[in-house]
Structure 1
Amino acid sequence: MVEMERFCSLSAFDKLGGNKGSIDGAEFFSEWKVRNSLSDIAYKGPKFTWCNNRKGNKRIYERIDKGLASPLCYSVFPYSGIKHFPIQCSDHAPIIFDTGFFEPHKRKSFRMEAWAFEYEDSLRLLKQEWFLHDRGSPVTKLSRKLRRTRYVFKNWTLAKRKSWNEKWSEFDERLEAELEKKFSGHIKNRHDRNLIIGLKRADSSWTFDKQKLAGIFDDHFKEIYGVNTSRGTFQHFTRKEVRTAVFQLGSTKLPGPDGIPALFYQKF
């Protein structure tokens, strides 16, 4: 990061009051920035960082103090930014470079919850959207149906929660904290018990090498799911096999990235 002062206020938008004519050397400074692949670092706070502390029409504000960063800097600190503080004890405002200033808020992904399937009006909405006619390949049809029903279900769920007049975000945070406090020890013990440190081969010999363990798992599941190793392709599943697999899933088990649990597919 480079801090400059004389040539920083290159734009009329970075100055309030005084002469807004061109600055000597501004063109040279702009060329230097381009030549070194430097760009202004984004900021938050008051716009101007300098004031001449005069009164009336002679008062001038400028954004003189700024930060410049190279692409390497942004690759190492992608969420970096500058915080501008008010001008108080000096004619310059203090500014602070923060590597995590603009870190995005991680939204909690939406998941279909089992309680909503107990309401007839929610099921009616889902059926209405699910059985609409869609054009395209089977995969395209399924994708459109899932996207549409998920959107409708999400809106219905949010409206229902709002009608109960509860602060669900606070409730979820308290519940998550209580569950973590109560079951953290149990989860750790379960994790330790489930840790696989060795496997027995078909010839009754044991292996404890991590890479060889992965190969044993790979061969095992290739055999289960019918991978043809000579062609590298999967065998086709029948409709009956897919239905059996879906109904063997726990209906309220943790859903996948799309937030749709097995209960949804078992009902529709």
Structure 2
Amino acid sequence: MGSLNLLVTFVYGFLDKQRRKILWDKLSILAQSVVEPWGLLGDFNHLLLPEEKRKRRPIYSGCKLFNFVQSNELRGLGFKGPQFTWRRGVIFERLDRAIGNSAWCRTFLEATIFHLPRLKSDHSPILLSLNSPKKAQVDRPFHFLAPWFVRESWSNEVDLVDNIGTLTMNLKRWNTKVFGHIIRRKRLLALRIEKIQAALDRRYSRFLMELGCQLRVEYEKILDEEELLWKQKSRVDWILVTEIRNSSIIKPLRGEVENQWCYDNEVLQEEAIRFFSSLYSLDDHSFGRFSLYGCFPTLDFASLGILEADMTNEEIRSALFSMGSLKTPGPDGFHALFYQNVCRSVCGVFSDWSISSSVNKTFLVLIPKTKAPESMAQFRPISLCNVLYKVVTKVILNRFKLVFPLLITLNQVSFVVGR
């Protein structure tokens, strides 16, 4: 919260009355020393008002929780969602709540407490929202999402590159119209469960009970999909598109000619292309010819036969499945997980199908060498290649490993595992 100091206490009221009384006494002592905004939320395991139970019972002035709230000038923070947070059979009670002092109520005027749907527990989770502003939505490159399990648009009889292009368009359409946004689907389903539980709070209905069970099963499936989605997203380490397009995040660089700071994104892009094209290009100088015949070891016909032999499906499969399934994808947006599920089509690249030049497209990402880079020379470029391209090079490299011992002497350390 920046420079704002606040205190949040998470409460669990013991089932034992004596231990619960000790808890209220200790919290009362703490309340005397707290001057900053103070919020308390959790399972208090006690009623505060008569209407917090379906079958009302009087709340006596001797109630320890009631006395604790009144004596320390605390107040309830309200809630949205079902009235009762605990259910066992046909008994409904509100045992979970959030309360705060006057400083909290003055500071967080837009704070909201949500009673979320009950799923595995007999208690409803409670969510505290301070209404943080949402980030603006921007267009992003296509990425295959791991929860997508669609095969109708895939054909093993079509060229792999054309197949991927067709599948990409169909997946975008299918994701919008059928699969939908996981977070949005989760929110809508949770809202239906919440309304059913709110209706059950008012009266019992066998139909609503069965419908609620069905929706909870569907909700669990969405949670599994969301878990897989966040597992995939957690592996994304590069700067997000929203950050790249934010001029306040892009650091200005000094120009090499006039030594002035540059803030224009297009100029920075042109400067990056110019600098690295020059860095990795040969000068227009003539190089002398050297006779290298006999200076390096050569391969016999048997070794050349090993390199020229047809690639086996086992070699291709081994190379493909040795990759991390959710590693950073290339421009086509498909992770190794996708190609591992269409391994047969990948094997076809090495038999009858030619490789399209589009497979060799890459994303170039600049990684800073220092904490505060000021010129292009302080960046290191890396290439994010398509998985199919990496499979091809990995299979070829594994073949070369078989003959490397014949070409690389014992005093050399490059290209040999373990040296």
Normalised TM-score (structure 2): 0.21
Normalised TM-score (structure 1): 0.32
Which of the two has higher C-alpha Rg? 2
